[in-house]
Amino acid sequence: MRWPCLQWPLEYALAGSSALQYRSFCDILWNMLGKSEKGGATMKDQVLINIFNTDLTEQITAAMAGISTIKWKKVRDDAQSETEAADIMKRNRYDVLPIETRDGFTSYFHTIEWNNYTSIARSIIKKDDIIPATTHIRETIKLFTQNKRRYFFLEHDHSIVGLISIANINSRPVKVYLFSMISEIEVELGKIINQHVDEESVLQKTIYDPKNEGRHDETKKRYEEDRALGVELEVTEYIFLSELIEIILLYGLYQPLDYSKREFKREFNAINDLRHSVAHPTRSLITRNDDIDRLDRRISYIEKALQRLRNHIYDNT
């Protein structure tokens, strides 16, 4: 389906036009985009480039992780609202509960002490309580740590449209964002090992290491079955991130990445610990108030690792 205008806002479609009208509009636009002056790249080419080079990690926003005004619990502004709010917050373990008025959402109830539902207070939503709904999730996590905050109201078009708290960092979009970056680290570490260490050495240090007996039974079976079928994948595609880290340390391959041994071990072990939490749906990233600071620190390790790994691969191509 070649509807390039799906890359633009859908105001046209949402304004009451039928799907057939919208598709006709897209087809006309697509043909227009295909026309280029002086033989250069057309706008259609650029659309295709954007489609095929979309980085999903760039699209995870605070709104995707948070909760919208459509779905959140709220109370109306009346004489009974504080009593009702206290009951709702205690029953549902909410630390923030918005108050709806005829003017929208301008105030809220909140616990005085986080996770303590015995005492609540009412506050006006101030400028410092608000971030744009389109704020990238990485920037949102930074804002949590830098401002020592546990929640923000989300704004779009000058209206409060939702809320994100540190509890929402446990959501699936955030884990997808983190896992995609950690996966790239695994791939790039594998490339470095494949460039500098022969396959037999890697096998003997991992899958066929007697010290790992029982740990790699399924991996060894899959590796040998693939080989029997003529599937010649690199052995680094079968082993764990922790083992990639161990091999990098063993052969000193952290040096071309401008790490000290101690620094590499500390930061990559922290990344591996984060991977365990991200890869298991039942594990939460945030269970305590200070977990958001630790997550922010680990993401900074990931960003640093990706930059150095990408630079290393670029310098050796």
Number of structural domains found in the chain: 3
Are 115 and 43 in contact, with CB atoms under 8 Å apart?
no
Residues 299 and 183 in one domain: yes
209 lies in the same domain as 97: no
* Whether residue 246 sits in one domain with residue 113: no
Tokens representing residue 11 in the block: 């105001």
b/e burial code for range 78-94 (CB count within 10 A of at least 16 → b): eeebeeebbebbeeeeb
Q: CA 237, CA 285: separation in Å to the nearest integer?
A: 26
Please report the pLDDT score of residue 11 as a whole number.
Answer: 42
Q: What confidence tens digit (pLDDT) does each residue in 129-176 have?
A: 999 999 999 999 999 999 999 999 999 999 999 999 999 999 999 999
CATH number at residue 94: 3.10.580.10
Task: Flag residues of the chain having pLDDT under 50.
Answer: 1-17
For 210, list phi and psi in degrees, rounded to 5: -55, -30
Which of 115, 139, 169 corresponds to the end of one domain? 169
DSSP state of 171: S
pLDDT of residue 149: 94
0.75 surpassed by pTM? yes
Q: Which residues pair with 160 in a beta bridge?
A: 155
Burial 28-49 (b: 16+ CB within 10 A, else e): ebbeebeeeeeeeeeebeebee
**pLDDT value for 9:** 43
pLDDT of residue 97: 94
Sign of the Cα torsion 265, 267, 270, 276 reads negative
Q: What pLDDT, on the 0 to 100 scale, is given for residue 206?
A: 80
Task: Tell me the pLDDT tens digit for each residue of 287-296.
Answer: 888 899 999 9
Q: Pick the last residue of a domain from 115, 138, 169.
A: 169
Residue 169's pLDDT is: 95
Kindly state whether residues 193 and 310 are assigned to the same domain.
Answer: yes
Tokens for 3, please give them: 């509807």
Domain hosting 44: range is 4-54
**Alpha-helical segments (H) within the chain:** 11-14, 19-33, 43-52, 62-65, 81-92, 137-146, 172-196, 199-205, 217-228, 241-250, 261-279, 291-315
